[in-house]
Structure 1
Amino acid sequence: MTTSFIPESAPFNDEQRAWLNGFFSGMMGMQPGGDASAVMNAAGLSADALPGVMEPEKEEEEDFPWHDDSLPIVDRMELAEGRPVERRLMAAMAQLDCGSCGYLCKSYSEAIASGEETNLTLCSPGGKETSKMIKKVLKESGDTAAPAGKPAGGAAANGTSQQGYTRKTPYDAKLIESRPLNGEGSAKDTRHIAIDLGDSGIQYEVGDALGIYPTNCNELVEAIVHAIGADPNLLTVTPAGDPKSLANALGEEFCLKDPSDELLELALSRVSDPATKTQLSQMLEEGAPDGFDVLDVLQLAGDVPISATEFLETLSPLNPRLYSIASSQACVGNQVHLTVGKVTYDRNGRLRKGAASTMLADRLEPGATLRVFTQANHGGFTVPADPAKPMIMVGPGTGIAPFLAFLQERDATKATGKNWLFFGDQHAATDFLYQQELQSYLDTGLLTRLDTAFSRDGTEKVYVQDRMKQNAAELWSWLQSGAHFYVCGDASRMAVDVDRTLKSIIASEGGLSDQAAADYVAKLSKEKRYVRDVY
């Protein structure tokens, strides 16, 4: 009797099946040990060449013990020791799965390891710490970031929209307005940004993010051109292959914030002063100080010869910034709204500016063009699928952005679920962002509860987590009734404090041990009822 190698589900007729079974039976007799894999190899076929033939066992789900944003990078790297390069690269990421890079931590690391992604600086929350560790892991493994002939990018998570506008092919949108939200006398400058998507057909969901390609300010570009003694009109070729003047290339294509190791090494190779050499060597070893930028390196190096071409080769690409969308398309149509805090600070007598935030606040006039793309939300960060489910939202400062979108969506869809917002900032008189809109939602009943915490208004600082504690019993009652709990904002402080407070409330109000409370929160996360958009 002939052994059947070809399953009944395979797309062959009886004659073809009989011939193939006979062929493989004959091959089996010629192979030592009658190994089926050897038979397939001898026939020039792979194990999956025929549907249903010798399907490999499914790999068990891999454990990623370092995928915990509360762990320092040293501990994460220790947990990943001995693992394949893509897993050690993953441990170097910030572990937030925030989507800022256009991937998740796992897929970004795999893209780097495979050579599909050449940009090693996309992990915004991880910053210099992550990019430095990525380079170290690649160097230790002997791998290159991008094998020849492999294109960069390409992952589905890379910000692709149905209309084809992606991180690599953004849409030229127009700015409608950049409206100040803070009152006179505030220490902050927060803007409501409205952008016209025109006839792009771009669709987004609440909880999604908008990617914006920034430009560098002219003053910084001019100072850098002067520092290297170059002609600003010198024609250069950008990474995309487009010819641009040196000034335009520096303004539009390259990151002028964090100096790369390559720039530090170039400067180190040119300077002769022992003290400067020591400084640069220390930065290469430990990383540049916070706020120390490309111009600082050039000024530290002083009057040493650095050509425009070799200088450009040391620079990292200017990455897009991702902002939580603050609108629902059910309300704003072909517009998209953002809430953006302008970043400026003084360091060593020079004003430093956030590239994207100051572009949106100061350098663009209404009607000006900016390049944008949408980034799908991650991990279920969107309104509950069941419109009757309650929502608890914690969004201090600009973290309020997605929750405006959530409320607009719930209003437009006539969702019946209760909505509770915790909002905080410095002063109620000057920093109560969207106060009129929120009051209107309270008046209509869409917003069931609004608890605010203005940290600088009293003798003691009060934060959103303090308001959570004060309302512990009701918060627990909402959770028990199926509420979804959302957090948006700063990852390093606020989100950690809110997480700790949430577990404390669950333990005290639910009469649970610390471990049982942690398990309860883990279950909420698994059910997508506890979701964070932190950065």
Structure 2
Amino acid sequence: MNGLYIPADAPFTQEQEAWLTGFFLGIAANKSVDQSSSAPALTVHVLYGSQTGNAEGIANDLAATARTRGILMPVRALDDVPTEELAELSTVIVITSTYGEGEMPDNAELFWSSLESAGHPRLEQLRFAVLSLGDSGYDDFCQAGRLIDLRLEQLGAARLHPRVDCDVDFEEPAEGWISELVARLAAEAPEADALPAPTGAVPVQKPATWTRKRPYESRLVENRVLSGTGSTKEIRHFEFALGDSGIEYAAGDAFGVVPVNDPVLVDRLIAELGLRPDHEIEGLPLVHHLGRKAEIVTPSRELLALVAELFPDSEPGRLLARGQREGLDEWLWGKDTLDIVLSTGMKLGAEEFVALLRPLQPRAYSISSSPLHSPDRIHLTVASVRYGADRPHGGVCSTFLADRLGADEPVGVFLQPNAAFRLPEDGDVPVIMVGPGTGVAPFRGFVQERAAMGATGRNWLFFGDQHRSSDFIYEDELGAWAESGVLTRLDLAFSRDQREKVYVQTRMQESGAELYAWLEEGAHLYVCGDASRMAKDVDAALHRIVAEQRGRGDDDAAEYVSSLKRGKRYLRDVY
């Protein structure tokens, strides 16, 4: 997008380019208004923090709705806005998701770090409103939005509209919040006319034809195992036909799949509860509701609360009564809703039981293909989740795809764009990719893309897993790219093939001087995979490498890494 406003050879840093792009977007938006017969009655700045694109989509929906009421709303990521700029603004809307265990999304970390600092200036001139996205299955539900909301209030800003915290089914409450907020703002200038759609260089977001609430019925046209004999994992390659969907994806996007629960688990639950499969709830048989509408693997908070109330002498009941969160988490590890039923012997009516369950959610996976290589199919690389010694347990969607979805059966899918995880527009820019295990998925798409477009920039991939003999997925493809030079470097780390464990961050550290040299030459660094361990270890290794190569201490290294983030040169797709 930056290239629409700033020449590729302009003498600006990545940070300067990002700021100027936002500045020019505002000018272009205002220009499109000035050339019409209408003028904006109000300008409100919308700032989003988004890990997977949902918050960004809502932000754009809000801006589009506001234009119909004569309100101009430039949209930017939180990290694209220096918090000092808040002192110059009158009205700000923040829409943010919560990532991991109560953390800020990657593109909101720098904003929050500055906002929460002890010396941040007061913001008495500012009005604000916050919409939070989260998952009530986590302890720190909507924590990111709550923290920003509270901090803005502490700094003296006035709350324009009450904060709303949205659970996983966020569409309806978000739409209601948007409607109420825009109506309140429009009341300040009742004579304002609708603004024309932005023209010229201002990007217009194309509405998604297919969504999580209205998925496209695709077909699974390929399902093959990638991991070898002896592997402790089962990693599969899936391909979905796009048919007449009109779905246009980009390397780096995610793909949503609507799963169906394991019918064996559904039948067992119904039997243990003493219910009838054909009992109707809201016009649907119970077996259908539990199979396609309800989350029956992860126990809900409501179910656990009932256990504490009705079964205080059961093991989970005792842990809940004592408030032993860590002990409860340990006991719950690897257990599903049926385990709760079996451990307590509970018997509930169909309506009462269903009311305790959360809605079954689509699962999103990083796309492992490029549209330049595969325009009519989307590829996924998925680890099948299987565990349990006493009885088999399985991941809701991974085993649905691996075991139960036939080639002739429809499966609901939709695109989940991830504009924050993209290759650089300039094909000459070097790229460093860190993706062990299934984390290699988006980078397979990246390399396909770079090869198809004839990009001249160097490509460096760090890949690893446990054993080379059984866990080197896509070995032939990666080897061929390395041999042909499409991959300039392929550094491998198979942790269990020697006495001392070796990981991707180990390989990064070993090549620290060259990795830093690439960064100094403008390389973009991408990380994909496990957020709780791998991504944190890679981040720590990056900080160490920078500190060692620059020799200016930890604070300087932290600022250098922050500058990479601000310049959109250190991007992560972690889960």
The answer to whether the Cα contact below 8 Å between 2:216 and 2:414 also exists between their aligned partners in 1 is yes
- 1:418 aligned partner: 458
CA deviation after TM superposition for structure 1 residue 61, in Å: 6.2
The answer to whether the Cα contact below 8 Å between 2:295 and 2:359 also exists between their aligned partners in 1 is yes
What does 1:502-513 align with in structure 2 at a 5 Å threshold? 502-513=542-553
CA distance in 2: counterparts of 1:162 and 1:133, whole angstroms = 29
Task: Name which of 271, 279, 290 aligns with 2:333.
Answer: 290
CA distance in 1: counterparts of 2:254 and 2:527, whole angstroms = 15
CA distance in 2: counterparts of 1:366 and 1:335, whole angstroms = 14
Aligned to 1:211, the other structure's residue is in SS state strand
Distance 1:305 1:503, change over 3 A: closer
Question: Is residue 2:260 matched to residue 1:215?
Answer: yes
Distance 1:227 1:473, change over 3 A: same
The answer to whether the Cα contact below 8 Å between 1:98 and 1:534 also exists between their aligned partners in 2 is no
Distance 1:199 1:163, change over 3 A: farther
* Deviation sequence 1:127-160 (CA, Å, 0-9, x none): 53334979x99xx9x998689xx93454999xx9
CA distance in 2: counterparts of 1:156 and 1:144, whole angstroms = 7
What does 1:458-469 align with in structure 2 at a 5 Å threshold? 458-469=498-509
CA distance in 2: counterparts of 1:275 and 1:443, whole angstroms = 57
Distance 1:384 1:272, change over 3 A: closer
Task: Name which of 302, 306, 330 aligns with 2:372.
Answer: 330
The answer to whether the Cα contact below 8 Å between 1:392 and 1:486 also exists between their aligned partners in 2 is yes
- 2:194 aligned partner: none
Task: Name which of 153, 170, 174 aligns with 2:219.
Answer: 174
- 2:413 aligned partner: 372
Task: Name which of 392, 400, 406 aligns with 1:359.
Answer: 400
CA deviation after TM superposition for structure 1 residue 342, in Å: 0.6
The answer to whether the Cα contact below 8 Å between 1:161 and 1:374 also exists between their aligned partners in 2 is no
What does 1:429-508 align with in structure 2 at a 5 Å threshold? 429-508=469-548
Aligned to 2:388, the other structure's residue is in SS state strand
Distance 1:254 1:153, change over 3 A: farther
CA deviation after TM superposition for structure 1 residue 350, in Å: 2.5
What does 1:68-467 align with in structure 2 at a 5 Å threshold? 93-97=102-106, 110-112=130-132, 121=135, 128-131=138-141, 151-154=172-175, 162-237=207-282, 243-271=283-311, 273=313, 277-282=317-322, 288=329, 289-302=332-345, 304-346=346-388, 349-379=390-420, 381-467=421-507
CA deviation after TM superposition for structure 1 residue 278, in Å: 2.7
- 2:572 aligned partner: 532
The answer to whether the Cα contact below 8 Å between 1:98 and 1:533 also exists between their aligned partners in 2 is no
- 1:106 aligned partner: none
Distance 1:440 1:154, change over 3 A: farther
- 2:42 aligned partner: none
Residue 514 of structure 1 aligns with an amino acid whose one-letter code is D
CA distance in 2: counterparts of 1:452 and 1:467, whole angstroms = 8
CA distance in 2: counterparts of 1:172 and 1:88, whole angstroms = 28
- 1:25 aligned partner: none
Distance 1:310 1:97, change over 3 A: farther
Distance 1:418 1:61, change over 3 A: closer
Aligned to 2:339, the other structure's residue is in SS state helix
CA distance in 2: counterparts of 1:503 and 1:265, whole angstroms = 43
Distance 1:190 1:90, change over 3 A: closer
The answer to whether the Cα contact below 8 Å between 1:163 and 1:200 also exists between their aligned partners in 2 is no
Distance 1:89 1:204, change over 3 A: closer
Identity %: 41
CA distance in 2: counterparts of 1:161 and 1:522, whole angstroms = 32
CA deviation after TM superposition for structure 1 residue 170, in Å: 1.1
CA deviation after TM superposition for structure 1 residue 264, in Å: 2.4
Distance 1:513 1:227, change over 3 A: same
Which structure has the bigger radius of gyration?
1
The answer to whether the Cα contact below 8 Å between 1:270 and 1:305 also exists between their aligned partners in 2 is no
Aligned to 2:217, the other structure's residue is in SS state strand
Q: Which runs of 5+ in 2 are unaligned?
A: 1-33, 39-68, 73-79, 85-92, 109-128, 151-161, 179-204
CA deviation after TM superposition for structure 1 residue 62, in Å: 8.5
Residue 406 of structure 2 aligns with an amino acid whose one-letter code is E
- 2:48 aligned partner: none
CA distance in 2: counterparts of 1:395 and 1:531, whole angstroms = 12
CA distance in 1: counterparts of 2:313 and 2:401, whole angstroms = 41
CA distance in 1: counterparts of 2:315 and 2:387, whole angstroms = 27
CA distance in 1: counterparts of 2:365 and 2:177, whole angstroms = 19
Normalising by structure 2, we get a TM-score of 0.68
The answer to whether the Cα contact below 8 Å between 1:121 and 1:316 also exists between their aligned partners in 2 is no
CA distance in 1: counterparts of 2:164 and 2:234, whole angstroms = 42
Residue 309 of structure 1 aligns with an amino acid whose one-letter code is E
CA deviation after TM superposition for structure 1 residue 91, in Å: 10
Over aligned residue pairs, what C-alpha RMSD do you find?
3.8
CA distance in 2: counterparts of 1:477 and 1:170, whole angstroms = 45
Distance 1:62 1:319, change over 3 A: farther
CA deviation after TM superposition for structure 1 residue 196, in Å: 0.5
* Deviation sequence 1:287-330 (CA, Å, 0-9, x none): 5522232112212221x441000110110011111100000111
Distance 1:169 1:94, change over 3 A: farther
Normalising by structure 1, we get a TM-score of 0.73
Distance 1:155 1:207, change over 3 A: farther
The answer to whether the Cα contact below 8 Å between 1:10 and 1:51 also exists between their aligned partners in 2 is no
- How many residues end up aligned between the 2 structures? 433
* Deviation sequence 1:506-525 (CA, Å, 0-9, x none): 11122221111110110001
CA deviation after TM superposition for structure 1 residue 97, in Å: 4.9
- 1:105 aligned partner: none
The answer to whether the Cα contact below 8 Å between 2:526 and 2:571 also exists between their aligned partners in 1 is yes
Aligned to 2:139, the other structure's residue is in SS state helix
Residue 484 of structure 1 aligns with an amino acid whose one-letter code is H
Q: Which runs of 5+ in 1 are unaligned?
A: 1-8, 14-48, 53-59, 65-83, 100-108, 238-242
